[in-house]
Chains A and B, each alone.
Chain A
Amino acid sequence: MNHLSEEQLILHYYGEEGGDALTVEQHLDECSECRAFYGSLQRVLNVVDTLPVPERSAEYGAQVWQRLERQIRPSRHWGLRMPVWRWAAAGAAFAGLMVTAFVAGHFYHQPTPLPITATDKQSGEKILLVAVADYLERSQTVLIELKDANPKGPLDISDAQALAGDLVSESKLYRQTAAHTGDTTVANVLDDLDRVLSDITHAPSQLTPEQLAEMRQKLESDGILMKIRVLDPKLDPKSGNHEGPEAKTAPGQKL
């Protein structure tokens, strides 16, 4: 009599022996040696089965979300659209920027007392900082997703391209304003970023792994992410890291 193999018995234990189930059962009824072997297999697997797992409370999911929320909030993925309130905030910042630019332009040729000009300028810068920080954050999200993508086949970047296109359209006003306020560091980074985002919008929407690698290499050689990260804490007035133009890095910067 041919005995059952260990593989057959393992499949039988898991109920995956296919059409052989009856044959295996019959054999086990008739063959004491195979039955003994199967019994030992069952005992071993039953012992493994009793190895306990620490339980998590019903609140565990909420705790995971709390930690997760902190991680995902700074870098929203293009697959999840920016929430309405953020568009509203960006829109308000834009409107403020336009008004400030208009007011600043209006007083530009007039012998206006210095304190008023200084206040307008500070206010204009503050609005610029808020608007640009948000813009940089969204740009960074697009770039990081491309940099970190690890597809097995072609990668569809059409969503990223759509976002990059929107960002390119937005950037013109920021660049002009940065140039106008004399912040050359911001203006230069925005120029570089504009070129990178334009390249993304003009790339094929389906990237082969080789094209993706090439794009990733270009991102690294441009050092654009590093430039954004250097700029980001400086530009975010909420971070408390608002430093002078000479500041190169700041602690606690986020990707």
Chain B
Amino acid sequence: MEATDAAVVSRARAGDSDAFRLLVERHSRSLFRLAFRMTGNQQDAEDVVQESFLRAYRQLGNFDERASFGTWIYRIAANCSLDLVRARKRRNDHTAAPADGEHMEDPLAQLASDNPTPERMALSGEVRQRVAEAMEELSPTERTAFVLRHFEGMRMEEVSRVLDCQPGAAKHSVFRAVQKLRRALDPLVSVAR
């Protein structure tokens, strides 16, 4: 039977590096998905995964074993992504405006499959470009809140804990994100109907 995260974390805290390896192997893929949705960039997402586990390793001594390791590492990854997106935004604020879609990679182009699924077919080039651009227009906090709520299915309470803010503030970040997305994409989906 596979050991629970809690049991593996206990071993890792006692200095068992194989146990920590097991945690990395278990959570890397889901962390990558979160990081990609937040950064919109494959390389950045890879860096976030790496940095998150490094931070987790260093802080493992302070981890409360009663908590869920999965939630904890998610929180670290969300914060790493947030830091990265904020830093990127600051850099961009001080440099020339990027070309359209420069930061957000074309996610479809990165899919390995040669056989387009119905979803891939439905998401036309223009729509996916607009979705990517609309996501880029969100502030780092809005984007984080939206990704955690929409894609990761976290409750507003949990989102607020990750963002380290009041639940009301997290809710408003999600509202603003959805409003911005709706304003940007509604004309497109209305036409597409």
Interface string of A59-95 (1 = CB under 8 A from B): 0111011011101100001111111000000000000
Q: Is the CB of B131 within 8 A of A51?
A: yes
Q: Which residues of B contact A53 (CB under 8 A)?
A: 32-33, 36-37, 107
Q: Which of A43, A61, A72, A79 contacts B28 (CB 8 A)?
A: A61
Which size bracket describes the interface of B in this complex?
35 or more
Q: Is the CB of A159 within 8 A of B123?
A: no
Question: Would you give the shortest CB distance from B170 to chain A, in whole angstroms?
Answer: 11
Q: Is the CB of B25 within 8 A of A61?
A: yes
Q: Is the CB of B25 within 8 A of A65?
A: yes
Question: Would you give the shortest CB distance from B161 to chain A, in whole angstroms?
Answer: 13
Question: Would you give the shortest CB distance from A247 to chain B, in whole angstroms?
Answer: 30
B185 within 8 A of partner (CB): yes
Q: Which residues of A contact B72 (CB under 8 A)?
A: none
Task: Provide the bound-state CA to CA distance between A41 and B5, in Å.
Answer: 38
Task: Provide the bound-state CA to CA distance between A54 and B39, in Å.
Answer: 13
Report how many residues on chain A are interfacial, defined by Cβ distance under 8 Å.
42
Q: Is the CB of B14 within 8 A of A81?
A: yes
Q: Is the CB of B61 within 8 A of A52?
A: no
Q: Which residues of B contact A47 (CB under 8 A)?
A: 123, 127, 131, 185, 188-189
B169 within 8 A of partner (CB): no
A30 within 8 A of partner (CB): no
The majority secondary structure among interface residues of chain B is helix
Write 22 A-B pairs (CB below 8 A) sorted by A numbering: A41-B182, A43-B193, A44-B178, A45-B150, A47-B123, A47-B131, A48-B131, A48-B135, A48-B150, A52-B107, A53-B36, A54-B112, A61-B26, A61-B27, A61-B28, A62-B25, A64-B53, A68-B24, A77-B61, A80-B12, A80-B20, A148-B58
- A-B residue pair count with CB separations less than 8 angstroms: 141
Q: Which of A16, A48, A65, A78 contacts B21 (CB 8 A)?
A: A65
Q: Which of B27, B42, B61, B123 contacts A78 (CB 8 A)?
A: B61
Task: Provide the bound-state CA to CA distance between A145 and B186, in Å.
Answer: 49
Q: Is the CB of A44 within 8 A of B57?
A: no
Q: Which residues of B contact A108 (CB under 8 A)?
A: none
Q: Is the CB of B111 within 8 A of A77?
A: no
Question: Would you give the shortest CB distance from B167 to chain A, in whole angstroms?
Answer: 10
**Residue on B with the closest CB to A84?**
B15
Task: Provide the bound-state CA to CA distance between A62 and B23, in Å.
Answer: 10
Q: Is the CB of A82 within 8 A of B15?
A: yes
**Residue on A with the closest CB to B156?**
A16
**Residue on A with the closest CB to B185?**
A44
B190 within 8 A of partner (CB): yes
**Residue on A with the closest CB to B40?**
A51
Q: Which of A10, A49, A61, A77 contacts B174 (CB 8 A)?
A: A10
Task: Provide the bound-state CA to CA distance between A61 and B111, in Å.
Answer: 19
Q: Which of A16, A48, A62 contacts B185 (CB 8 A)?
A: A48
Q: Is the CB of B175 within 8 A of A6?
A: yes
